[in-house]
Amino acid sequence: MPGKNLSRDEAQQRASILAVDGYRVRLDVTSAPDPAAATFRSTTTVAFRCTEPGAATFLDLLATAVRSVTLNGRALDPATAFDGVRVHVDGLAAENVLEIEADCAYSRTGEGLHRFTDPADGETYLYTHYEPADARRVFATFEQPDLKAPFTFTVTAPAAWDVWSNGAVETVTAEDGARTWEFTTTRRISSYLTAVAAGPYHVARDHYSRELADGTTLEIPLSALCRQSLAPYFDADEILGVTKLGLDFFHETFDYPYPFGKYDQVFVPEYNIGAMENPGCVTFKEEFVFRSKVTDAAYEARANVILHEMAHMWFGDLVTMRWWDDLWLKESFADFMGSYGLIGARTRYSSAWVTFANQRKAWAYRQDQFPTTHPITADIRDLEDAKLNFDGITYAKGAAVLKQLVAYAGSEAFFEGARRYFKRHAFGNTELGDLLDILEETSGRDLKSWAAAWLQTAGVNALTPQLTVDAEGRITELAVLQDGDVLRPHRIAVGLYDRDADGALMRTGRIELDVTGARTVVTEAAGRPRPALVLLNDDDLTYCKIRFDAESLETLRAGLGDIGDDLARALAWSAVWNLTRDGLMPARDYVALVLRFAGQEGNIGVLQSLHSQAKTAVDQYADPQWRAEGERQLADGALRELREAVPGSDHQLAWARFLAQTAGGAEHLGLVRGLLAGSARIDGLEVDQELRWSLWLALAAAGQAGDEELAAELAADNTASGKRQYTQCLAARPTPEAKAAAWSAVVDSDELPNALVEANIAGFALPSHRDLTALYAAPYFKLLERVWAERTIEIAMRIVGGFFPSAQISAQTLAEADAWLDGHPLAAPALRRLVLERRDDLARALRAQACDRA
């Protein structure tokens, strides 16, 4: 499989004959401040061994031009050696030194070396992002995770800039208006984990020390970076405080000293993902630098990501999967450790498992019910497959399954297994079997059958309670029914809930057991009084959808918000949302539950999830004939709760943002405009810049924001965030011209940076504008293969997913999607997967609408 899309077979063949001793990479980015300069100079010197002298191989490189290729002192003709994506070399010796000099392109897509110029002050910033395979956009490399090597980076940059990489700074020399930074050589790491950041970043510094068991002291320099214009908002003390708590926790838990020297954390603009675990130089999206007030859920999410990336220093960086099939060996573990660590590290975020149950697992349940679902250990044929597998299964389902494994094998056995795993495979690559062998040692359990059921099969089980009760109201039998294509072993807790003297629903009994097969009897329940609520998977030990018996469901309809325990209540909310998505509960019933009980929801993260899900229920799952009534109810509910919320509270801010999302009537939009103008006021609500843009988006979507008004708001907030929000507002206007402009800006040109591509798509695709966007369904299906061929995969994925006619929920749209899939059997598998998943969302919405209509 030639070209950009490196196959697993090619990677295996290359690794079978090569071992890499080290890279020296020299980059010259002195041209970066000049917007007319499209490229930078990249020189790679790689030393490697070959077990088959005389053989041929290739390095991966996406470059504008290759200037020279020299193998063992022999010059090769770049015109024949470089085909645009690979540098081919033959006649290899047992030991080789290859030097490649190239011109590589600055990126605006967040892939490779991304260049950003800050509209606030004109300063330019660079950073790299590579996973899974974009290091080849910056230097020539063997782009696969199992050809690890030490890396030495040298970067020449403008004299006023600073530069960061994985290693510590070794020397800095100045000459001719530039400075050259040489960094210490890294330990053996994979190419996708290397990193460079350069520019006039604002820096906060700290230090971490720890006495080790051998009597030595581990010293880790810490830093946190952001753009200069964000420095006034940068709460580096909070970020570095969580960092130090995390380092304490992971050292205590993993018993393996942090192996990468320093620990820099760089918050960067226009980032495609949440964060990336580059050892010694972690990168984060700069939206984690909060310019305006956010709820505590945002701070918790940031802390979770900090610990997630820190867990990767061990799971992923120290020990790395051999190929992307076993991506879960790092992502599932890091996702699990992010939540586990918030509790274990004694941060202030004590509701981490509530957030996990309500938000992360919702992502997993959705992904796992697509026809494209896959086992946690997936079949990854090539890099395009790998790119799409950074999904809810690899992250959230895998993390949930690990939580089940901890319950199944025992916490101490699990973490002792992790400690042995790091020591045994440090700086190496592993597969599933390597981890299972160690966990079997520490737990004494046969985990191969467990892994076969949980890691090597796809799909989610549903667990339903089945009760029989005698004339005196006592349980004669309680059984757990398991449904699904694969029946798995589940370690669960069954919670029995009744009302206390104050009317709260409190747990009066808890039974922990193993569920196996289609029907498992809960023997300990016999003879107990029939409770008001039977909650399966109490404490959220396993990964499953939970259902309810009829009486328990009626209890929830009458009093879901009365459940006293935060996690139990979150599980109930998750369960009724799954019932709605599955077409088993009418969307209007779910909306009624939210409107009745969301106002008393104490957990702010759960509340914000309810807002999002209720809006989805109205936009997608409600009978179109009832949709307008549902929209009105949501807006009225948001306005009511906003006025009743505690002044200045997180809940007040959440309801204000929800009002901005739902406002449609004259009363709602009048308040929105009044809040912007200052003529209306909600006690305690600060209408700061981010909230202002949310309110402007509401007016823009309703056709009540003029061009001059939006331009004036941008002038007052001439920042990267302001430009992004302004772009979304323009695309959100309910006119054919606005939709045409947004479509054209994304589809007809590749000049926009990734952030503005996303903003245009978000404004274009508002569900309330379904009549305006309907005429784009046919053009959408015609452009798919062209977009996939011409754009980078990151941008192509956004266009394919974002412009799918999701708002056109009809049998006709379903037929159009099916016709494209049937007519393009040989289209790229990753492209077909994206279309098939959006098609499945459409079919689910039609089923849910039928339920709501009935």
Cβ–Cβ contacts within 10 Å for residue 35, how many?
10
Q: Which residues contact 636 (CB under 8 A, 6 or more apart)?
A: none
Count of C-beta atoms within a 10 Å radius of residue 59: 23
What number of other Cβ atoms are within 10 A of residue 751's Cβ?
9
Rg from Cα positions in the chain: 28
* pLDDT one-digit tens code per residue, 281-314: 999 999 999 999 999 999 999 999 999 999 999 9
pLDDT per residue as tens digits for the range 405-443: 888 888 999 999 999 999 999 999 999 999 999 999 999
pLDDT digits (tens, 9 = 90+) for 686-715: 999 999 999 999 999 999 999 999 999 999
662 has pLDDT over 80: yes
- Tell me the sheet residues that pair with 116: 125
pLDDT band of 135, cuts 50, 70, 90: very high
How high is the pLDDT of residue 106?
98
Q: 112 pLDDT exceeds 60? A: yes
**Side chain identity, residue 307:** L
The DSSP result for 93-157, as a single string, is -SEEEEEEEEEEE-BSSSSEEEEEE-TTT--EEEEEE-TTT-GGGTS-B--STTS-B-EEEEEEE
Q: What's the average model confidence in pLDDT over 653-674? A: 96
Q: Find all residues with CB under 8 Å of 801, minimum gap 6, and list them.
A: 834, 838
Q: How does strand 18-28 pair with strand 39-50?
A: antiparallel
Average the pLDDT over 154-164 and give the result: 98
Arithmetic mean of pLDDT, 555-570: 97
Q: Are 73 and 14 in contact (CB under 8 A)?
A: no
472 is catalytic: no
State the alpha helices, DSSP H only, in 765-808.
770-773, 777-790, 793-802
Check whether 760 has a pLDDT greater than 60.
yes
Mean pLDDT, residues 241-269 taken together: 97
Q: At what angle do helices 829-853 and 793-802 cross, to 10 degrees?
A: 20
Output the pLDDT for position 3: 53
Residue pointed to by tokens 């918050």:
267
Per-residue pLDDT tens over the stretch 68-87: 999 999 999 999 999 999 99
User: Which backbone phi and psi does 502 adopt, to 5 degrees?
Assistant: -90, 0
Taking residues 462-482, what's their average pLDDT? 97
* Catalytic residue (one of 309, 440, 631, 794): 309
Q: Cβ neighbours of residue 739 under 8 Å, at least 6 residues apart?
A: 731, 764, 769, 772, 773, 776
The SS3 of residue 282 is strand
**3 in helix, strand or coil?**
coil
Q: What is the mean pLDDT of residues 132-154?
A: 97
Phi, psi of 432 (to 5 degrees): -50, -45
| pLDDT tens-digit map of 15-69 | 999 999 999 999 999 999 999 999 999 999 999 999 999 999 999 999 999 999 9
Q: What is the largest CA-CA distance in the chain?
A: 93
Mean of pLDDT over the chain: 96
Q: Give residue-wise pLDDT tens across range 173-215.
A: 999 999 999 999 999 999 999 999 999 999 999 999 999 988 9
pLDDT for 1 beyond 50: no
Residue 761: what pLDDT? 98
* pLDDT (0 to 100) of residue 384: 86
Position with higher pLDDT, 161 vs 391:
161
Please compute the mean of the pLDDT values over residues 111-138 and round it to a whole number.
Answer: 97
pLDDT at position 2 is 38
pTM comes to 0.95
pLDDT in tens, 808-841: 999 999 999 999 999 999 999 999 999 999 999 9
Helices and strands in the chain: count of H runs, count of E runs? 29, 28
pLDDT cut 70: percent of the chain above it: 100
